Amino acid sequence: MLNKFIFVLFLILALASGISEPLCRNSTRIIFFISTVMLFVDQRVLELIRRRRQFLFLMLGFVGWIVVASFYSGHVPSTSDSSTYWLYFSYNMLLFIPIGLFIDRERQLDWILLVLAISLALNDLVIEVQLYYGSDRPVTFLRGAFMQSAILYIVLLPIYLIVALRAERRPIKILCWTFFMISLGAFVLLKTRGALLAMMIILPTMIAFFVRDLKKLASIAMIFIVSTALFVNFYPEAVDRIETVKNFDAEQSVSERFLIWQSAFDMISDNPILGVGFGNFEQKYQTEYIRPEARERWQSHAHNTYLQLWAETGLIGLSIYCAMFGYILRWSWRRRSNHYAAMIFFSTAGFLLYSLTDYTYASYSAMRVYWFVFGLCLRGVDFSAADGQTTTPR
């Protein structure tokens, strides 16, 4: 009975992930509360923690250093600062524990991933409706948080592309491709350039990795070419925004990124090991390190996760962060013949690429989606291993 109740909560979490932050947050809290109680009455929790100790060690190590960096910066976790506010949601990194504890059938994973797809489809609809009414830059249910919306698509699109490529029944394959292309179009309409560039690298790489048959590869390429031509014909302004990256001297928002990055490097050179303290980037940037030629003087982050973490938490914090995601990439790549492991790898790779142009770590709503998907796919690898399927490269 308890497992069924938690499964329903996971379905609610999946549906709310891209729609309602309060519902998503509260369902997650209930799941973790019950999981904490289970820690004292169910030995399976300890076994699960032992089996995932490498992931747990790196995650807790990173969050622990963030806490240290928060205290020496003066931004203790009890403040309302937008950066340290993420500390309240750092438990999302441990979603793989309740998933491993309460999800006991692979069929349940399929249902949760399906509901996540529905959540993404509802965002597609919101974007299309805004476009119909003349919006220049549509937003999702996350409103003006373009970065969080972009992460939502970056994490989920690679997963649904794998499902489309791996589906065996023709009707399901056609349906998957249809929903994937619609979501991809909606993602492009968000006009988040860094995210678009990341997907322009990840998606072709995935197709080249999964499709070895030349005829099938040619068919997929033709679908993308025709779809792109139609998209460009109907929405040329989306392409115009991507092309502004080439003219960064003329495009203010792009040139400002380079100025912010230069300021971040200056901050790093002055505080390379410990950084200026977690949550201090905005104050330090606006009062000490802003370039004289900068016009957007209200900027609050470095528009680059790695530079931001290095500036705020020093080389120690950045190293732990890179070690954590480096381990995830290595672990999933070694098991890449398993489609769940491949989902982890490509979603993570897309997210890390996008992190080069935005401070993704502070997007606690979208990061929850990433850790949720990570936990689901991690559990999927377990099921595959239990069924005797290969989880190592052939």
Tell me, what's the pLDDT at 394? 32
Q: Which range has highest mean pLDDT (85-99, 193-207, 249-263, 291-305)? A: 193-207
CB contact at 8 A, 314 and 274: yes
**Ramachandran angles phi, psi of 17, nearest 5°:** -55, -40
Q: Taking the complete model, does pTM exceed 0.85, yes or no?
A: yes
Contact 309, 321 (CB under 8 A): yes
Q: Answer whether 15's CB lies under 8 Å from 118's CB.
A: yes
DSSP assignment string, 229-262: HHHHHH-HHHHHHHHGGGGTTT-HHHHHHHHHHH
Of 176, 109, 15, which Cα lies nearest the Cα of 344? 109
Query: Per-residue b/e over 9-32, b at no fewer than 16 CB within 10 Å?
Result: bbbbbbbbbbbbbeebbebbeebb
Other beta carbons within 10 Å of 130: 16
Whole-Å CA distances, 146 to 62, 137, 296, 390:
26, 10, 18, 39
**Average pLDDT of the residues of the chain:** 83
Residues in Cβ contact with 240 at an 8 Å cutoff, skipping those fewer than 6 apart: none
- Intra-chain end-to-end CA distance of the chain, in Å: 40
- Average pLDDT of span 248-257: 64
What is the average per-residue pLDDT within 347-368?
88
Dump pLDDT digits (tens) for 61-106. Answer: 998 898 888 777 666 655 555 555 566 668 889 999 999 999 989 9
Q: Does 42 score more than 60 pLDDT? A: yes
| Residue 1, pLDDT score | 78
Residue among 147, 7, 96, 122 at smallest CA distance from 331: 96
SS3 312: helix
pLDDT at 220 over 60: yes
Q: Give pLDDT, residue 393.
A: 36
Q: How much helix, strand and coil, in percent to the nearest 5, is found in the chain?
A: 75, 0, 25
Give the mean pLDDT of 230-251.
58
**3-class DSSP assignment, residue 140:** strand
